[in-house]
Structure 1
Amino acid sequence: MRREFKRYSIYVSGFTLVELVIVITVTAIIGGISSTFIRHSVMAYVNSEAYYELADRADISLRRMSRDIRNALPNSVWVSPGGDFVEFIPIKAGGRYYQDDFGANSMRVMVENVPVTANDQLVIYNLGIPGSDAYDGDNIRTITTAPNANVNQLQFAGAAFPIPSPASRFYIVNGAVAYVCDLANKRLLMVSNIAIPSVRPANFNAANARVVVGDVTGCSFTYSQGVMQHTGVMTVQLELSKNGGVARLLNLINVVNSP
């Protein structure tokens, strides 16, 4: 008996070399186009994150500067001719004195708790003009009263004050402060403990300098005094740059100069 065997046909299918090259080429083109869109989206996200970080840091710095300048001794805000730094005298404490004591080296004050510490200085009627300028030493005296938190009488060294305050106001200070644009090192500095009286511009001591913010690529100060010098406006421009993000902020600070 003869057996019959069935023949099976085997078909082998696949890509030709030409088809494979075409697929690789098309895939590369689509991948290149997709990566371009993805890259722009990722870079936009990174830039926006960098911008918000810079804007937040710049805003905090300007707020701090605004607070300090608003608490400055009247008529003590001074901007360098180049606009690269601003100097002022912060107020530690203040109040009113008895007008009858003016002209002596000791005066009673109308407040119960006047904080006095070492090297504190007394200022009366600072107008920021010759004859009444704390920077020149005209109306600033070193307090000799022993440091105490409950002082009701202030004693000071030196001559009597030249001009009385019409409102009988006094201020206690302890050195000047400056905000300095250090663009060479891309930072904004705060220099403290500047001696008074001092020659302007002052010689800043690097040991007393602290970095307020870094990545600074633009910084300037301008100051305009108001009518009769009772008010002024400080304009601060600050630019920070990092990782492709750029934040530019401008802040106007009202300065009350009623002595």
Structure 2
Amino acid sequence: MNRKGFTLIEMVITLIVGSILVFGIAGFVELGARGYSDTIERQRLQTQAKFVLEKISREVRHAVPNMLSDELISGANCLSFYPIITSGFYAVSGADLQFVVGSKSASVDTIKDLSLVINPTVSAASQSNIFPLTSVTSDRETFYLAGMADEVKGNSVSNRHYIFDAQGKVSYCIINQRVQRLENGLDVTPISDSGVLGQLSYDAATVQHNGVVSISLTFTNEKDDESTSFQQKIQVLNVP
């Protein structure tokens, strides 16, 4: 009777070859998984950067023109501005300043704690054409500031005005390697992960060009120390 089977040497060789194949396949699987993970991480980093740039851009474009500044807040580089609450047109009527706004829901109660600015040219700290609306009155859709006509210094050529919250300054800062949004220097909201370095700056408007916000940020993936840099310029529309 013939008995067929494997010898010890054949079994050992089979185990060795099988192990080599298993380790080889595992290496390919690991390489593919690592490549997929790196791709997802790069996409996450770029998506985060695009979100930060788009959010800053949109808010800057809806800020009071020219009332921007780059400043240090608690030692951090920041870009600061005032969001427009509403806007409209004004006229001088005798000694009074009268104006209308674009928001149909605006009333004395909704705007009395806000401020009105005409022909903004510099940051709020040195702006002279700001009028608190604490004493505003109205007649239907027209609002009045009694006796304020003589206080207007430098009229708008298109009779435009902007209404904003003097206590609602918004700042974007790079704090602890994160882009963070501050409201009046108090309420802090991180809008990026850690590992962000860069500069936020503002070039004020001149007779040759409008104001320009420059953003230069580098986002670093702390896992593999891979960095991606983004640069963007935002033109601040000046409608005097």
The question of whether the paired residues in 2 share the 8 Å contact of 1:70 and 1:255 is answered with: yes
**Aligned match of 1:70:** 61
Separation in 1, partners of 2:137, 2:43: 46
Matches within 5 A, 1:9-158: 9-16=1-8, 18-80=9-71, 84-101=77-94, 104=95, 106-111=96-101, 113=103, 115=106, 116-128=110-122, 133-136=123-126, 138-145=128-135, 151-155=141-145
**Aligned match of 2:164:** 173
Separation in 2, partners of 1:156, 1:188: 43
Aligned-pair CA distance for 1:15? 2.5
Q: Residue 22 and residue 226 in structure 1: after superposition, are their counterparts in 2 closer, same or farther (change >3 A)?
A: farther
Separation in 1, partners of 2:19, 2:12: 11
Give the number of aligned pairs. Answer: 229
Identity, in percent, stands at 21
The question of whether the paired residues in 2 share the 8 Å contact of 1:230 and 1:256 is answered with: no
The question of whether the paired residues in 2 share the 8 Å contact of 1:141 and 1:156 is answered with: no
Structure 1 unaligned segments of length 5 or more: list them: 1-8, 195-203
Q: Residue 221 and residue 164 in structure 1: after superposition, are their counterparts in 2 closer, same or farther (change >3 A)?
A: same
The 3-state SS of whatever aligns with 1:99 is strand
Q: Read off the aligned partner of 1:170 and give its amino acid letter.
A: H
Instruction: Report whether the alignment pairs 1:237 with 2:216.
Output: yes
Aligned-pair CA distance for 1:172? 0.5
Matches within 5 A, 1:187-226: 187-192=178-183, 194=184, 204-205=185-186, 208-225=187-204
Provide the alpha-carbon RMSD of the alignment: 3.2
Q: Residue 58 and residue 24 in structure 1: after superposition, are their counterparts in 2 closer, same or farther (change >3 A)?
A: same
Q: Residue 57 and residue 225 in structure 1: after superposition, are their counterparts in 2 closer, same or farther (change >3 A)?
A: same
Q: Residue 232 and residue 72 in structure 1: after superposition, are their counterparts in 2 closer, same or farther (change >3 A)?
A: same
Aligned-pair CA distance for 1:156? 7.5
Separation in 1, partners of 2:204, 2:215: 15
Separation in 2, partners of 1:156, 1:219: 47
Q: Residues 158-193 of structure 1, C-alpha deviation per residue, up to 9 Å, x if partnerless?
A: 8923333333221101031111112x2x4321112x
Q: Residue 248 and residue 31 in structure 1: after superposition, are their counterparts in 2 closer, same or farther (change >3 A)?
A: farther
Q: Residues 81-111 of structure 1, C-alpha deviation per residue, up to 9 Å, x if partnerless?
A: 798210111111122211345xx4x411255
Separation in 2, partners of 1:63, 1:222: 16
Structure 2 unaligned segments of length 5 or more: list them: none
Q: Read off the aligned partner of 2:18 and give its amino acid letter.
A: T
Q: Residue 229 and residue 171 in structure 1: after superposition, are their counterparts in 2 closer, same or farther (change >3 A)?
A: farther
The 3-state SS of whatever aligns with 2:192 is strand
Separation in 2, partners of 1:147, 1:48: 59
The question of whether the paired residues in 2 share the 8 Å contact of 1:216 and 1:241 is answered with: yes
